[in-house]
Every structure is written in C-alpha cells, then in structure tokens.
Amino acid sequence: MPRSKRAWIFTAVLAAGAIAMAFPFLWTVITSVTSGAGLSATPSLIPNDPSLDAYRTLFSTTTFGRSVANSVGLALAVTVIQVTTSALAAYAFSRFEFPGKRAAFALYLATMMIPMQVLLVPLFDQMKSLGLVNTYLGVLLPSMASAFGVFLMRQAMASVPRDLDEAAMLDGAGHLRTFARIVMPNVRPAMATFGIFAFMSSWNAFLWPLVILRSDELKTLPLALASLQGQFTTQWDVMMAGSVVSIIPMLALYIFAQKYIIQGVAGSGIK
Amino acid sequence: MNRGATLGTVAPPASSAAARSSRDGRKPGPTARARRAKTTAIAYLFLAPSAIPLIAFVVVPVFRAAWASFHTWNLISPMKWTGLSNYRELFTDKDTLVVFGHTLYYVAGTLPLTFVGGLALALGLNRAFRGRNLLRGVYFLPVVTSWIAVAIVWRWLLNPSVGVINTVLTNVGIDGPGWWTDPAWSMPSIIIASAWKDLGYVMVLLLAGLQTIPEELQEAATLDGVRWFSRLRFITLPLLSPQIFFVVIISLINGFQVFDQVYAMTGGGPNGSSEVVVERVYDLTFRYGQAGMASALSMLLFAVILIITLVQIRGERKWVNYA
C-alpha cells in the first residue's frame, strides 16, 4: 500500500474514534433539548422539536442555579487561596536556607501520598467539633494548601535567576516585595497551570463536599447533579440538562487554556 | 476528592539546595547568627500559610484515623478502646473480601482498556498531520468533566430499556444486557464509563513521553529497514518505560480510591454487586455509625496504596530505562 494512502486510513480511524468519543457529549446535549426524553419521547440525532423545557424545569423546580453559584464561588476561593499559599511556600523553599528545610519539604511531599478517603472520618469529626458541618468554611478549610502546588511552583521559581531578586534587594526591597514584584511575575505560566488545576479539582470535587454539605442551598454542582437522580428518576432530559450545565464551564476553560490544563495533568507525572 | 493529591506522588529528586546549607565553615559572629535567625524566621513565616493547614487537616487526621481504628466509635458518643478487634472483624468478614474484590475488578478492568487505548492514541497522535490537535482535544475532553456528570451520562447511554446503546444493539439483533441494573453487569458498566473518561489522561501522559524520544533514532531504524512492530518493541516501548511505569502506578493508586462514579452510577448496587472499598468506608461511617470500623478499613486501603507508592519509588530507581 502506498504510504500516503496508509496515512489517510490511519487518520480516518483516529477521526472515527474521536467521533465515538464525542458522541456521549452530543447525545447529552440532544437529550437535554428533547422535551420528555425517557418518558414520552425518544431522542433522535436530529431533534425534531427542540425545546429548553428541561432547563426551565431544572432552574425553576430545584436549587440548581444556587449550586452553580456555590461551585463558582468555592472554586474561585480555593484557587486564589491555594495559589497564594503554595507560592509563598515555594518562595521559602527556593530562596532560603534554614534549619529543618529538608524535613519540611519531605513532610509536604508525604502529604501528597495520603488519600482523602483516609482522612474522611477524623476530618468530619474535626469539622463537627468546630461547628463547621454544613458550611462553606467546612469545605474550604481542608483545601487551603496543596503540596502539589508547592512542588510545581518551587520548580518554576528555581529557574528564575537569583540576580533579579538580589538587584531588587539592593534597591531596598524586602522579601515580600521581591516575592510579589520580581519572582511572581516570572512564574506566571506555572501559576496559570496550577491555578487552573486547582480550579478544576475544586469544581469537580465530590467526596468531601458530599460528607460536609447537607442543605440544598449549600450544595455544589456535583452534589446537586447526583441528587437530581433521586428527584427526576426517569426524566432524562432534565438530568442531561444538569450535566450540560456542569460540563460547559469546564469546556470553555478547556478551550481557552488547553495548554495549561494539559501541562497540569501531564506535568505532574513527567520528570 | 482531590485527584491532584495523588497526581504528584512521583517522587521528585531530593532538594540539592538543602545540602548546601552549611556551605561556609566560618564560625558565625553574633551579627551573622542574628541574621541567620531572622532568615529562618522569615522562611517559616512564608511556609506557615500552607504548613498549618496541611498539618491540621492532613497530618493530624492521619494519626487520628489510625487511633480511631482501635476503637469502637459512632462519631457521637466517646470512643471506646477495643484494641485490634476492628481489624480482626475486618479480616474475618466476608464483606471485606467482597469490596476489595470489586475494587480489584475495577482496576483490572479499566487499566488494560485505558492503557492499550491510550498507548494506541498516543502513538497515532504523535505523528504530524492536519487536525491532530483537534483530535487530541476531543480525546482529552472527558478528562476535565466531573465524574458525576460522566456517571449520569453513561447511566443514560446504558439505560437497559431506552438507552441508545441497547437500542442500537436491538437494531442489529443483539439483546443488550441490563447494564447497571443487572448485578452481573454493574461493574462492567462502571468500567466502560471510567475507561472512556480516563483514556485521554493516559494518552497525554504517554504523549509527553513519546515527545522525548529523539526522532533520528526512529528514522535511522526505518532506513535500516526495521519494521514498525520491531521499532515499537525495541525502541519506542523501552524508551517510554518511565511513563508506562508511571501510568500503571498512578492508575493503580487512583483505581483503588474509586468512589465518585460508583456512587453516582450504581450506589454500590444492585445487591451490593458494585460496592467498592471507599463506598463501604462511607457507608460504615455515615449509615451504620461504625466510624472506628470505617477507620480500620481506610487504614487497610492506605496500606495498599502505600505499598504501591513504595514499589513506585523503588522501581523508578531500578527497572526503568531512562533515555
């Protein structure tokens, strides 16, 4: 077989695979605009009578809109806090020599090996005694720091020339100023990579919010989505509308920040 | 659950900067000592905002979980010391074996699917052609969606009576199974949905590895008439071994912690046919008021994950062929 023909078949196979991969997304959208899907109507590839009924039902009969706001707010807060705390620690690890540095760094790394599931019971008990069950703060507190973020930012800061901070120091800048004005602007890509990663993790987080949040008004999107199943057992148009609402922000983020997202996912694994 | 927490488990090279800490042998004078004390204080101030939450909400709870595993406890009344009885009960209880079995079933089902699929995609999408980035983007898309959305979407696709997959199967004359409503098919349903979501993740990890393999190596082999399969077997795969090793390890670590999609897709059912370890930890704690037992079970899971992590740390040094 000629080389070009083989390459063409190859590409066709990959494209067919991509269509198969994308089909669940397509079917989700189609179902969400097929009023009565699963009950009285069967969705078809080209919806013959598209309607936004399911979205109307979703936002008028449930607190789904509130859940969208909760997820946005929490994810933004987690992102800002984690980027800040991680960058500060990364600065300490990349710019200072101090007793206990090695032990401290080892401790940070060790926390990355501990799965959330192990912390579930004691963390819940801790939040209960602090009176933080069913509060935003209860979700937020355990996600204030990320060892992965520290590790990522430290690597980026290590490649920022020290001459830059020394020059700033000679001009009378303190550490906080050097950190904010000299080092941080030079690690923007790492900051973006980790920031988006933190946002996505928070947006999609399920187990801990499930444990700590009880009332409907406080629920985040994944929780609200999971409870739709109990409420709309066979109204698949409504459930698919909920899925579309939860997927779209990630899709938008992905289109605009594909490079950083892939770096965040791959960068953590590749040396 | 923060998947990022496990993403980073690959051990980085130890900080070499720390080794330099006592570089000047000179005896520090009083001013030098004061300056060093000040530097130390500043360094710890920079660490505090992340160190305090990590200690309070990760390090301390781990020890508290270990402590709780030796007690009978329902989260309400005070803990009662019962020594090893939780562990003894777990080891003799058939349910423990069952939930670990389901978890293993999940890992054994998803890992080969995502690995073979991800490798094929990485190899295919590493070549230059028009539309490559678009295809990569499509394959990666499920990775950024939440497990809950994925689970619900697949419950719909795999709906036994009105789902699109069974409808298509009926049209070609196959009687589709009951998927997540059938105890025999609940785990396969979860595995299919999970493989669809994780495929792009494995692809990206392997692609990053493929890009480090020098192109001249492949070209030279091609010129020498080495066949595609031999090139794959003797050049690509050996040079890709660090990433392959990492993919296997990270899939094992994430796989043993499977929860979200099980909770949303089957809730562990029908008849407990898809109950996994973390689901059991959750149920023991919040449904049956057995937080002590749940802690013991979570410590067992932790032990498994720790063993995999140790294998990783050793294996990275030993049998990975670094280019």
Instruction: Please report the DSSP string for A73-105 in residue order.
Output: HHHHHHHHHHHHHHHHHHHHHHH---TTHHHHH
Confidence of residue B226 (pLDDT cuts 50, 70, 90): confident
Residue among A66, A108, A11, A79 nearest A216 (CA): A66
CA dihedral sign of residues A212, A218, A223, A228: positive
ipTM: 0.89
B308 compared with B7, residue with greater pLDDT: B308
Give the whole-angstrom CA distance, residue B133 versus residue B203.
13
Cα–Cα distance list, A74 to A88, A94, A213, B125 (Å): 21, 30, 13, 36
Interface residue of A120, A178, A238 to substitute, partner B, most B CBs within 10 Å: A120
Instruction: Determine the residue type at A129.
Output: S
Task: Answer whether A109 touches B (CB < 8 Å).
Answer: yes
Confidence of residue B321 (pLDDT cuts 50, 70, 90): low
Using the structure block, give the residue that is written with the tokens 């294998």.
B311
CA distance A164 to chain B (A): 18
Give the whole-angstrom CA distance, residue A54 versus residue A31.
9
State whether residue B265 is helix, strand or coil: helix
Task: Answer whether A159 touches B (CB < 8 Å).
Answer: no
- Mean residue pLDDT across chain B: 86
Give the whole-angstrom CA distance, residue B105 versus residue B99.
10
B247 compared with B5, residue with greater pLDDT: B247
In the prediction, which pLDDT does B13 show?
A: 43
Give the whole-angstrom CA distance, residue A136 versus residue A117.
20
In the prediction, which pLDDT does A2 show?
A: 56
Any bridge partners for residue B72, and if so which? B80
In the prediction, which pLDDT does B319 show?
A: 55
By the 8 A CB rule, do B232 and B187 touch?
no
What are B34-72's pLDDT values in tens digits? 888 988 999 999 999 999 999 999 999 999 999 999 999
In the prediction, which pLDDT does B9 show?
A: 39
In the prediction, which pLDDT does B26 show?
A: 54
Task: Answer whether A96 touches B (CB < 8 Å).
Answer: yes
Instruction: Determine the residue type at B130.
Output: R
Where helices occur in chain B by DSSP H, the ranges are 4-7, 30-54, 60-68, 85-92, 94-124, 132-144, 147-157, 164-171, 186-210, 215-223, 228-231, 237-239, 241-256, 260-265, 277-286, 291-317
Mean pLDDT within B216-245: 87
Please state, as a whole number, how many other Cβ atoms lie within 10 Å of the Cβ of residue B267: 17
Question: In chain A, what residues touch B6 (CB-CB under 8 Å)?
Answer: 112-113, 115
Please state, as a whole number, how many other Cβ atoms lie within 10 Å of the Cβ of residue A37: 25
Residue among A144, A147, A151 nearest A82 (CA): A144
Q: What is the mean pLDDT of each run of 10 residues along chain A (271 residues)?
A: 74 92 94 83 81 91 93 96 97 93 92 89 94 96 94 91 88 90 91 91 93 94 92 88 93 87 65 30
Instruction: Determine the residue type at B310.
Output: L
Mean pLDDT within B148-177: 92
Q: Of the candidates B7, B138, B260, which has its C-beta nearest A22's C-beta?
A: B138
By the 8 A CB rule, do A94 and B43 touch?
no
What are B254-264's pLDDT values in tens digits? 999 999 999 99
Instruction: Determine the residue type at A134.
Output: N
What are B115-160's pLDDT values in tens digits? 999 999 999 998 888 888 889 999 999 998 999 999 999 999 999 9
Please state, as a whole number, how many other Cβ atoms lie within 10 Å of the Cβ of residue A200: 26
Among residues of chain B, what percentage have pLDDT more than 90?
Answer: 58
Phi, psi of B91 (to 5 degrees): -75, -20
Contact B10 A123 (CB under 8 A): no
Residues in contact with B47: Cβ distance below 8 Å, sequence separation at least 6, in sequence order = A88, A89, A92, A104
In the prediction, which pLDDT does A185 show?
A: 92
Beta-sheet pairing, B80-81 with B71-72: antiparallel
By the 8 A CB rule, do B96 and B177 touch?
no
Any bridge partners for residue B71, and if so which? B81
Q: What is the pTM of this model?
A: 0.87
CA distance A170 to chain B (A): 16
Question: In chain A, what residues touch B44 (CB-CB under 8 Å)?
Answer: 92, 98
By the 8 A CB rule, do A122 and B61 touch?
yes
Give the whole-angstrom CA distance, residue B280 versus residue B161.
29
Give the whole-angstrom CA distance, residue B245 versus residue A267.
15
For chain A, the farthest-separated pair of C-alpha atoms sits apart, in whole angstroms, at: 75
Where helices occur in B16-131 by DSSP H, the ranges are 30-54, 60-68, 85-92, 94-124
In the prediction, which pLDDT does B227 show?
A: 85
Phi, psi of B73 (to 5 degrees): -160, 135
State whether residue B84 is helix, strand or coil: coil
> Residue B4 above 70 pLDDT?
no
> Residue B2 above 60 pLDDT?
no
